Amino acid sequence: MKYLLLISLLLVLGTSEATEKEPELSNGYQKPAFCQKADCPKYEVEKQYDNFELRAYEAIRWVRTPLESDFFGLEMVKSFRRLFKYITGSNVEEMKIDMTVPVVIYVPLNQPPAGNSTMSFFVPHEVENAPQPTDPKVYLDNSPALNVYVRSFGGYALDPTFFKEAQFLAEQLRALGLEFEDSFYLRSGYNDPFTLLNRHNEVWVIAK
């Protein structure tokens, strides 16, 4: 049952239609190829390490919704649908907003104080004034400019793979004496389920 629900989520993700094409230029910024045709947050690589990189992200606008843990994965499907309804018109202006990447899930490691998980969509740069959601479980949020350690990996990835990659990243950071926020990590997915090759996933931890 759990895997049937996860497949259902992947089918919903497929509506993003993130087909591959050359990255576009915006004010001299060349977005990464793994963003494909979708808009994605802007960043600069501050330092490249052997197994990860340090990125400096600009301030980012998000639309978020709670994501409760459950064995079957039903809550993940519900959370995605709430966000997808927001970008397809369930907002006070009935505005349709393009699907973006990545879809980001906040994964707390210590409760408390890390709190509950959330799922987030990036609000595209072209939307200067994002409309307020009509669903009380969906809300807009701004994150300031941040330095983020990022580990990238390919393939189809579920919870255990993301957790394993986050653990590996944390071990690498500790071995190098680099300070980071260790109460949570962020898992970021960039592809619809129909992309078979060159899939791109990331885990993020916030640098201190």
Percent of the chain with pLDDT over 70: 84
Give the helix ranges, DSSP H, for the chain: 2-13, 74-87, 159-175
State the pLDDT at residue 168: 98
Token pair listed for 52: 């990860």
State the pLDDT at residue 134: 98
pTM score: 0.87
Full set of structural domains in the chain with CATH: 2-206 (3.20.80.10)
pLDDT of residue 77 exceeding 80, the answer is yes
Q: Over the stretch 169-203, which tens digit does the pLDDT of each residue have?
A: 999 999 999 999 999 999 999 998 888 889 999 99
The DSSP symbol for 50 reads S
> Strands, DSSP E only, in the chain?
25-26, 29-30, 43-48, 53-57, 60-67, 103-108, 117-122, 139-143, 146-153, 184-189, 201-206
Q: Over the stretch 82-134, which tens digit does the pLDDT of each residue have?
A: 999 999 999 999 999 999 999 999 999 876 656 689 999 999 999 999 999 99
Q: Which of 100-127 are b and which e, b meaning 16 or more Cβ less than 10 Å from the residue's Cβ?
A: bbbbbbbbbeeeeeeeebbbbbbbbbeb
Phi then psi for residue 18, to 5 deg, are: -80, 75
Residue type, 167: Q
Phi then psi for residue 119, to 5 deg, are: -115, 140
Percent of the chain with pLDDT over 90: 73
CA–CA distance, 37 with 52 (Å, rounded to integer): 24
CA–CA distance, 114 with 143 (Å, rounded to integer): 16
Q: Over the stretch 3-52, which tens digit does the pLDDT of each residue have?
A: 444 544 544 444 444 433 444 445 678 999 999 999 999 999 999 999 99
State the pLDDT at residue 113: 59
